[in-house]
Amino acid sequence: MNIKEAGLEDCQGALAVAREFHSESNFRDVPFSDEKVLSLFDFAIKSPNHLFLIFEQDNEVIGGFIGYLDYFYFSDAVVASDLALFVLKEKRGKVPMRKVLNIYRVWASRRGAMRINIALSTGINTDRVERLFELLGFEKSGANFAFFPQRAKG
């Protein structure tokens, strides 16, 4: 198992994993755009305010993580947030998430982040992932809610 910063050569493999992950997530009813995802990957690789990690096993991409820096809307203080965390179904539990999240925390801390966020909105292994995040030092700080107009009655 190898964790590395993404390069352009990793994009097609990461795209395939992201597409598969999307198909089983809470977002599966939202169209998946290869073009948009590849554009994001390209931007995240080139941006100093983004961290794009690739997880490899036997030289094949099995997952990835994207974090980014921004400012709080109410302050000039820096906040780090995750944008994506995706792993092939059969490889979940095999990626050393302690190491991945430590890389993210160190990266964000060195860039002055006052707060380092990680979210859980995919609906995949929610209880297990929540326990993992808490075990790794993240504190629960709210909840995600979604409203679906196409499902609303009246």
Does the domain at 2-139 match CATH 3.30.70.141? Answer given as: no
Length of the chain: 154
Report DSSP letters for 98-111, one per residue: HHHHHHHHHHHHHT
Of the pLDDT bands very low, low, confident and very high (cuts 50, 70, 90), residue 51 is: very high
Tell which wins on pLDDT, 124 or 53: 53
Residue 93: predicted pLDDT: 85
Of the pLDDT bands very low, low, confident and very high (cuts 50, 70, 90), residue 59 is: very high
- Under a CB-based contact definition with an 8 Å cutoff, are residues 52 and 66 in contact? yes
CA angle 83, 89, 93 (to 5 degrees): 85
Residue 76: predicted pLDDT: 98
Residue 154: predicted pLDDT: 62
Token couple for 38? 């590849």
CA angle 38, 70, 55 (to 5 degrees): 45
Backbone φ and ψ of 34, nearest 5°:
-55, -45
pLDDT tens-digit series, residues 73-130: 999 999 999 999 999 999 988 888 999 999 999 999 999 999 999 998 888 888 888 9
Distance CA 23, CA 88 (A): 11
Query: Quick one: residue 59, left, alpha or beta (phi over 0 = left, psi -120 to 50 = alpha)?
Result: left
DSSP state, residue 5: E
